[in-house]
Amino acid sequence: MTSIALAGCHIFDFLDHGSTNTPRIVWRVSGRAIGAPATDGHLVFFNTGDHHVVALDAATGAERWRAATGSVEGPPPSPSCAIVAELVVCGDEDIVAFHRDDGSVAWRYHATQGYGPGHFAIAVHDGVVFAGSNSTGPLGTGRVYAIDGQSGVPVWIAAPLADDAKGVNILGLSVDNDIVVGSIVRNTHPFTGGVVGLDTKTGTTRWITNFPQAAADSESASTNTALWEGSVLGASTDGRIYLLDRATGAVQFGFPGVGRRAPLVGLTTPVGSDLRAIVVSGSTLYATSTGDWFIAYDLPKRRELWRVVAPHSTPTGMPIVRDEDVVYAVHIGGDVAAYSATGPSVLWDFGNLNDALVGSVAVSPERIFASGITGFWAIAKR
């Protein structure tokens, strides 16, 4: 692998991360939610821990329908739902599409090659559902699926890492008209991995880039990806974020790890393994860190812009959502924070002693929706 330029301008803007604004709770409905919900603005769709999808009225929280996914195994690690035309497509062990108006099943995709395409968050582009795979199942690993969103028929099934002897999870997918990229988590000790790039239309493998290990006992797996112009971004579990060439997968640049843990509870120890969620908007990269940071980077100039201390608890590493001038992240402590996308500040932070929020959020023009281990939540954006 080519040498890696690691650079970073650590601008420690330690502004007060407390918030004077308390978000208004629009509604809460009891239930056990998991993963990331989806909304069409009228209804919001949640995966549940007992293998159902629940559709709630986005304005009132009233239940409109509840339908079984058909799976019976334990709950998947981090499923999601997504809107595809008149359907809502949700992951479990299988991927299941429901009619949004009444919850009737439109199609179900069960993998006969590989395992668990619904275990991790799905991505949707141009009416096609893209999914990775879980390496803990009995039928093989290291696959990526492209499924027609209307029929449930596979467009292609790619097996770029199915023959890896260590077993491979592929998750954290990002997709556009040109390329599908996914994070590689190889079941080695310590975990290793990188990013795989596939052709969007055919599933042909373009490249596989393995991240370097800083030391023999260092992790180098990846759990999050993003796309930006001619580049692919992949976050390594050692804290680095790599900028890869879209055409070849060659490493162009590496943002370093966050350094030391934020002084959230008075501790500033070095950050070791780091689950960093990333999202790109325009030419800015936003990233969380389990070292208790939220950081913005200038991609063209390849430098850190600013960072702010995460409030109260560390971000989970689950996908973060940019909406207008706000980035939303769920934290390990069960709260959700709204970070400013324009400067180092926390707009608000919400948690509830009787519930813990999990996964990621869905956003509508007026509110966000979050999954809790004992409830479904709607929170006003302003």
The owner of tokens 């978000």 is 23
Range of the domain at 165: 30-271+357-380
136 is a domain residue: yes
Which pTM does this prediction carry?
0.93
Q: What is the pLDDT of residue 265?
A: 66
Phi, psi of 21 (to 5 degrees): -100, 130
333 is a domain residue: no
Cβ pair 53, 8 in contact under 8 A: no
We report the CATH number of the domain holding residue 244 as 2.130.10.10
Residue 345: CB atoms within 10 A of its CB come to: 17
Q: What is the pLDDT of residue 139?
A: 53
Cβ pair 251, 244 in contact under 8 A: yes
pLDDT tens, 297-351?
Answer: 999 999 999 999 999 788 999 999 999 999 999 999 999 999 999 999 999 999 9
Instruction: Please name the helix (run of DSSP H) or strand (run of DSSP E) that holds residue 232, with its range, or none.
Output: strand 231-236
> Domain count of the chain?
1
Cβ pair 141, 164 in contact under 8 A: yes
Q: What is the pLDDT of residue 10?
A: 36
Q: What is the pLDDT of residue 138?
A: 56
> Which of 178, 89, 187 shows the shortest CA–CA distance to 133?
187
Q: What tens-digit pLDDT sequence spans the chain (382 residues)?
A: 333 333 333 333 333 344 447 899 999 999 999 999 999 999 999 999 999 999 999 999 999 999 999 998 888 889 999 999 999 999 999 999 999 999 999 999 999 988 899 999 999 999 999 999 998 765 558 999 999 999 999 999 999 999 888 899 999 999 999 999 999 999 999 999 999 999 999 999 999 999 999 888 889 999 999 999 999 999 999 999 999 999 999 999 999 999 998 886 666 788 888 999 999 999 999 999 999 999 999 999 999 999 999 997 889 999 999 999 999 999 999 999 999 999 999 999 999 888 999 999 999 999 999 999 999 999 999 7
Q: What is the pLDDT of residue 5?
A: 37
259 is a domain residue: yes
19 is a domain residue: no
241 is a domain residue: yes
Token pair belonging to 250: 């060659």
Token pair belonging to 19: 């918030």
Residues in the chain: 382
Q: What is the pLDDT of residue 14?
A: 37
**DSSP notation for 143-178:** -EEEEETTT--EEEEE-TTTT-TT-EEEEEEEE-SS
